[in-house]
Structure 1
Amino acid sequence: MGRQASRRRRPAPSAGGGRRRRTRARSRRRSGGQGAVRGMAIGISVFAALGGGVAVAHWQETRADSAADGAVDAAAPLRADSGGASPSSTPSPSLKSSPSPKTGPSASPSPSASPDADKVIAVPATGPGTFTTAGTGGSAVGSGSKVVRYKVMVEDGIDIGASDAAAEIAAILADERGWTRDGVHSFRRVSSGTYDLAVKIATPGTVDRICGAAGLRTRGEVNCRVGENVVVNLKRWVKGSPEFDGPIGDYRALIINHEVGHGIGRGHETCPGPGMPAPAMMQQIKGLKGCVANAWPYDRNGDYLGGPAVP
């Protein structure tokens, strides 16, 4: 009996043992809470990562939408049928230093007055998507050994004749401030056979269709270049740009020089400094950043009017 009684009796738990059990219970509760917090943190991190992915996709989409100077470009060397907006790997010419900032290129008029300069030209929203090709332009302009064969095509049904547009574009390309000044390129207009560039003047709707097929969104407002196609928006050809302070003929020169510049492998550039001429390869329709509007890649002295490359 005494032995059984002694078995039934258990020593009272010490105060320290009770504290240890309570401590372990609290520890388990805390660790469970920390696990929940860690789980929430992981969930938030995943959500943040997904949110970051959306932000990157949106940034990329926005950048692709706005990659132009009155122009959304698929900038690539000749015959590279690229649908992206990556700059060409061809280096820009070296910038020549000047002892004082230039206030702009020559103030002299464009090489020839456009027959359409004073004509009221309607800008229909869209057109048939078919084109008339201007005739052959004769001998090449420029002394460069790299001959760029180009066509001029005007969408049917608009108030611009293919021959008139071709004459204006030829004068731009022949100007001493144009791309022939690099000593590398010359330009020959053709109407058939092989060619390197096709300059197409088209209604906003047709521009959207051609550029959109390459994944570029012009929204009825701007130009693009995709592969060999330099697609000029009739709206810009007729109305110019609010960022360009000059006659419409000079703005047309900027369109051609910018897009043909991409065609020969030039990438985008930005303003080299306040009061200096904006590079022809700058997206001037997006703002001049302190520069002076300018249509030409070179000045009459043969200095390249460039700026820092845009990544």
Structure 2
Amino acid sequence: MSTHRPHSARHRHRRGGSTPASGRRRTGALWAGLAALTVLGASGFAVVGWADDGEKAAGSRASSPAPARPTDRLPSASSPSGPSGPVAAGSPAPPAASPSAPVIPPTGPGTFVVAPGGSAQAGKGKALRYRVEVEKGLALSAADVARQVEGVLADRRGWTADGRSAFRRVSGGAADFVVRVATPGTVDEICGRFGLDTGGEVNCNVADKVMVNLKRWLLATPVYAKDVTAYRALIINHEVGHFLGHGHVDCPGPGRPAPAMMQQIKGMRGCVPNVWPYDAKGRLVTGPTLT
């Protein structure tokens, strides 16, 4: 879902296919396209940036130094609860604010609080070290966000099910990638450095950064509006999936689970909601490759 222009870098093994260098540019009427739903390092590893609107920007990934542990309970079913049908194209997006909706600042200082502590390794193989950060000034606990991210990356239906991917959260020292929750304006600014236009609405993956738009973290999208926690898992699985080298895929067929690497924000295309890369039996949930 995100974002960067070519720059050299060190990266850890990418799994599961080549990642075309690319990024996403805004599709103009982004919310109209929000019709149904969405959104390390060994050397010599090519990378790309991905934005949630489906376009790609050429680039190569660099590992970054820096550090940042686990867990709101996530749904146990492979298909999260919530509306199963797509939202009609052109449907208005949920209001950004209402008496019961959270206040979402349009932008912030662009500086971050690192979640303290760390986690044990999840998965087999050499662990990718990651930290979790929250933009300063937000009414979010970095520790709480880290627990949720940790739980997603350690879930048996997540990327560790491939038998090669492993993760360990840190808060100090070098890190292979960082997960940041930030205001729409800050996401736009960081993703824009790599040529992506996230339009204040979507997430992105650029270089070693998984940028999570605060709006999506708090409000999800229409299809997942009743299960925001599940949607957060989709954001992490989708964007970290890009970081690992996975590209976009399409719906495999009506009534089947939507792959985590499908751009669900653009429509379910007959698939039913699903936020996990693998099912409970360890089978990859995927579909036709998109370019």
Pair in the same fold by TM > 0.5: yes
Alignment-derived partner of residue 65 in structure 1 = 26
Contact 2:117-2:171 at 8 Å conserved across structures = yes
- Does the aligned pair in 2 maintain the 1:70–1:236 contact within 8 Å? no
One of 118, 125, 129 as aligned partner of 1:145: 125
Per the TM alignment, residue 245 of structure 1 is displaced from its structure 2 partner at its CA by: 6.1
Per-residue deviation, 1:243: 3.3
Q: What is the CA distance between 1:81 and its match in structure 2?
A: 5.8
Match of 1:233 among 198, 207, 213: 213
Spell out the pairing of 1:1-311 with structure 2 (5 A cutoff). 64-66=25-27, 70-71=38-39, 80=46, 82=48, 85=56, 105=78, 121-142=102-123, 144-244=124-224, 246-311=226-291
Runs of 4+ in 1 over 3 A off after TM superposition: 66-71, 77-84, 106-109, 243-246
Q: Residues 270, 120 of structure 1: CA spacing in aligned structure 2 closer, same or farther, 3 A cutoff?
A: same
TM-score where L is the length of structure 2: 0.69
SS in 2 for 1:285: coil
Partners in 2 of 1:122 and 1:180 — Cα distance? 35
- Contact 2:219/2:225 (8 A) holds in 1: no
Larger helix proportion, structure 1 or 2?
1
| TM-score of the pair, normalised by structure 1 | 0.65
Greater relative CO, 1 or 2 (CA 8 Å, sep 6+)? 2
Conserved 8 A contact 2:47-2:245: no
Larger Rg: 1
- The CA deviation at 1:82 is 4.2
Inter-partner Cα distance in structure 1 for 2:106 and 2:167 = 32
Q: Cα 1:245–1:87, aligned 2, differ >3 Å: closer, same or farther?
A: farther
Counterpart Cα distance in 2 of 1:268 and 1:237: 21
RMSD of the TM alignment (CA)? 3.1
Q: Could you tell me which runs of 5 or more consecutive residues in structure 2 were left unpaired when the two chains were aligned.
A: 1-22, 51-55, 60-76, 83-99
Helix, strand or coil at the partner of 1:284: coil
In 2 relative to 1, CA 108–216 (structure 1 residues): closer, same or farther, beyond 3 Å? closer
Which whole-Å CA distance do the structure 2 matches of 1:279 and 1:163 have between them? 29
3-state secondary structure, aligned to 2:216: helix
Q: Secondary structure at the match of 1:132?
A: strand
Aligned 8 A contact 2:79 2:272 in 1: no
CA pair 245-156 structure 1, distance change in 2 beyond 3 A: closer
- Report the CA distance shift for 1:179/1:200 in structure 2 as closer, same or farther (over 3 A): same
User: Among the aligned pairs, what percent are the same residue?
Assistant: 50
